[in-house]
Amino acid sequence: MTASTEQLDVRVRDELARVSGTDPQDWYLVSKARHAMTLVLGALEPGEVVTQPLTCLTAVAPVISAGHTPVYADLDPKTLAMDPALLGAVTTPRTRAVVGQHTFGAAAPLAELREAAPQGAMLLEDAAHCLGELARGSDGAPLADVSVHSFGVEKILPTRLGAACWVNPAGSGMPWHARVVTALLGLGEPGVRGRASQLLSRPAQGVARRLGGPGQVGIAFAARAGLVDTPIMPAELQGRVAGTPAALTGPPLAQVAESLGGLEANRGHRRTVATLYREGLAEVAGAHTPSALDEPGRVLVRYPVLLDSAATAQEAFRVLEARGAVPGRWYRPLLFPGPGDPAAFGYRPGSCPVAEDVSARILNLPTAGFVTEAAARGTVAAVRDLVG
């Protein structure tokens, strides 16, 4: 690392430690969240990893790439996270880890998941949607063995690449702990393709949007060659994490260091927008938000609304897009945006009925900085007109 990179690395880890109430030495900066998950899970003996199907497939591809079999547990409809009461039905002696995903914001019941998980299984916190927040127990201590946070596109900050991984020092006696830390400390700088991708991805995607169809063909070819990064890489549709895990360095690290200074303002804006959605839709019978995600003050990367039917949700997309809004399609379908190789992901249709119902009816509304208060009110009015 160069001196400037070392300074930025320290600055970012110090800030993450400050906002999370942890020690900077337990944070590690990684090229992508999916790379961090692959490294962490790769430190475990091959077996099964329990996760949920209401997610992006880039959160499951690391399970497969690390040599494990993904196993799916259904959701608690109050949290849109894994239901701890159902965990025992899908765990076996081969369960190596349980992934607690904070869907749209910190709401996964990690204390209950910890209690329900098999002894010795790693509790991996997927905190991609709630940068710097760690689920804590009644004693105030963090619950997860490992917590992965994302600086990637469409997450909390307006950054595009990078991740942070927190490793709980309380787990130092676990057999995998030293292997995880060693793997994270041993990360090198990005290779030639990684550096090229950092420089080329954003301008190349801008050109592709202007060119339309031919541009998208070119981007897909460049992504397969590893020359540009797209939010979901072609290999990941088949269950293989693209790229080589590396330390977070260069322009992406500098962008993260700069953007972290605006984290509190960003959170404040998202709370304001979520409040406008919450209050505007509070008495609309046909638009329901899961209770754990509807709490005042919660920071949400998207505000989820469940409409009465799949047809109504689809019509809502059409109406909002016609108004110039940007309704989110996470997670329609399950394992968004849908595997290219369903067999690799091993999800059995019908096995998680709550997740399948949510996926059919969900409309998630953006809370990002580009959403003005006037735009949020307009979105509320459109949804009320449709289902109110």
Can you name the residues that pair with 170 across neighbouring β-strands? none
Question: In this predicted model, what pLDDT tens digit does every residue of 99-148 receive, in sequence order?
Answer: 999 999 999 999 999 999 999 999 999 999 999 999 999 999 999 999 99
- Position 207, amino acid: V
Tens digit of pLDDT at every position of the chain (388 positions): 555 899 999 999 999 999 999 999 999 999 999 999 999 999 999 999 999 999 999 999 999 999 999 999 999 999 999 999 999 999 999 999 999 999 999 999 999 999 999 999 999 999 999 999 999 999 999 999 999 999 999 999 999 999 999 999 999 999 999 999 999 999 999 854 555 455 544 544 443 354 455 545 555 555 566 666 788 999 999 999 999 999 999 999 999 999 999 999 999 999 999 999 999 999 899 999 999 999 999 999 999 999 999 999 999 999 999 988 888 899 999 999 999 999 999 999 999 999 999 999 999 999 999 999 999 999 999 999 999 7
DSSP of 156-183: SSS--S-EEEEE-GGGTTSTTHHHHHHH
Name which CATH class applies to 3-185. Answer: alpha beta
User: 263-387 — its CATH code?
Assistant: 3.90.1150.10
**Distance from C-alpha of 41 to C-alpha of 28, rounded to nearest angstrom:** 15
Neighbours of 106 (CB within 10 A): 22
**Distance from C-alpha of 277 to C-alpha of 293, rounded to nearest angstrom:** 12
Q: Angle, to 10 degrees, between the axis of helix 33-42 and the axis of helix 177-185?
A: 140
**Pick from 261, 237, 68, 74: nearest CA to 158:** 261
**Distance from C-alpha of 124 to C-alpha of 114, rounded to nearest angstrom:** 10
Q: Please tell me the pTM assigned to this model.
A: 0.92
**Distance from C-alpha of 128 to C-alpha of 34, rounded to nearest angstrom:** 10
**Distance from C-alpha of 200 to C-alpha of 308, rounded to nearest angstrom:** 43
Q: Taking the domains of the chain in order of start, what are their residue ranges?
A: 3-185, 192-242, 263-387
Ranges assigned E (strand) in 84-228: 95-101, 122-126, 146-150, 163-167
SS3 percent helix, strand, coil of the chain, rounded to 5, is 45, 15, 40
Q: ∠278-310-305 over CA atoms, to 5°?
A: 10
DSSP of 239-255: T---S---B--HHHHHH
